[in-house]
Amino acid sequence: MNEQSILQIRHLSFRYDDEYVLQDINLSIPKGAFVGLVGPNGSGKSTLLKCILRLLKPQEGEIFLFETPIAQFKEWHKIGFVSQKANSFNTGFPATVYEVVASGLTGKIGLFRSLKKKDKEAVFEAIEAVGMSDFVHRNIGELSGGQQQRVFIARAIVSQPEFLILDEPTVGVDVHHVQNFYNMLERLNKQLNITLLLVTHDIGTITEKVTHVACLNKHLHFHGSVSEFAKLKTEDLSMFYGHHLHLLTHDHA
């Protein structure tokens, strides 16, 4: 059986100046996967995301989205993105959860009144999918960091993307709620069939939820299923993580 490839990266290398920050990256994400892309700070995670979102053009290599070369790819509505800075726009912003999520359809806060019935339902469904139904009419500014992050995910999925990219989504999530947060992502993956690429420097908790792990530090040191990842030895991981090994909170540490 031929699995649809959501993302394929072949021999990608990127440099801002003389020095490469990504070198010979090969990565393939099949439909339905939940991929954790892990790497220490400065390992090139954001740069790789920018290449995938066509914000940067790699000097070498190829990227395919939904099996189309990225230069020709036009179906950007199939891709949702929640940036690390998603929750910085709202500080003191007088918008409700409903309005913020609806802006994922209208592109603007405030046009939600003109939403059709079908679109309004989509807004409520997205809010429910991230477990925020009890907060629909609450002001976004009153919510905790983790709750806000859920709202931004709802905004990203309201237009029903097939592929959702999340950049460090647990930054600002209370440590006691991280597990629940990952459970919510797992439901989006399994029940709504959204392929997920989650970028994080936290290699601990995430490896209990994802189907695949990719370890980046300029090179892709490892890419495989989570069971293959579990077989890696501490020495393998320390080669990749170097002095950042203390970040490991999983059994591997």
Any bridge partners for residue 225, and if so which? 212
Q: Which is nearer to ligand ADP, 84 or 205 (by Cβ)?
A: 84
224 scored as a contact of ligand ADP (CB under 6 A): no
What is the nearest approach in angstroms of ligand ADP to the Cβ of residue 11? Answer: 18
The bridge status of strand 34-38 relative to strand 5-15 is unpaired
Total residues at the site for ligand ADP (CB under 6 A)? Answer: 10
Among 8, 34, 45, 148, binds ligand ADP (CB under 6 A): 45
What is the nearest approach in angstroms of ligand ADP to the Cβ of residue 236? Answer: 20
The residues in 47-76 that bind ligand ADP, with binding defined as CB under 6 A, are 47
Q: Per residue in 180-199, is it b (16+ CB within 10 Å) or e — as a string?
A: ebbebbbebbeeeebbbbbb
Among 8, 33, 36, 44, binds ligand ADP (CB under 6 A): 44
21 scored as a contact of ligand ADP (CB under 6 A): yes
43 scored as a contact of ligand ADP (CB under 6 A): yes
What is the nearest approach in angstroms of ligand ADP to the Cβ of residue 45? Answer: 3
Choose one: 40-48, 73-81, 101-109, 141-149; the region binding ligand ADP (CB under 6 A): 40-48
The residues in 99-158 that bind ligand ADP, with binding defined as CB under 6 A, are none
- Evaluate whether 195 touches 166 at the Cβ level (below 8 Å): no
42 scored as a contact of ligand ADP (CB under 6 A): yes
Q: Report which of 198, 231, 167 is spatially closest to residue 29, judged by C-alpha positions.
A: 198
Q: Report which of 119, 132, 249 is spatially closest to residue 184, judged by C-alpha positions.
A: 132
What is the nearest approach in angstroms of ligand ADP to the Cβ of residue 43? Answer: 4
Q: Which is nearer to ligand ADP, 39 or 161 (by Cβ)?
A: 39
16 scored as a contact of ligand ADP (CB under 6 A): yes
Among 6, 33, 35, 39, binds ligand ADP (CB under 6 A): 39
CA angle 74–76–81, rounded 5-degree value: 155
Q: Which is nearer to ligand ADP, 56 or 192 (by Cβ)?
A: 56
CA 63 to chain centre: 17
State the residues that interact with ligand ADP by CB under 6 A.
16, 21, 39, 41-47
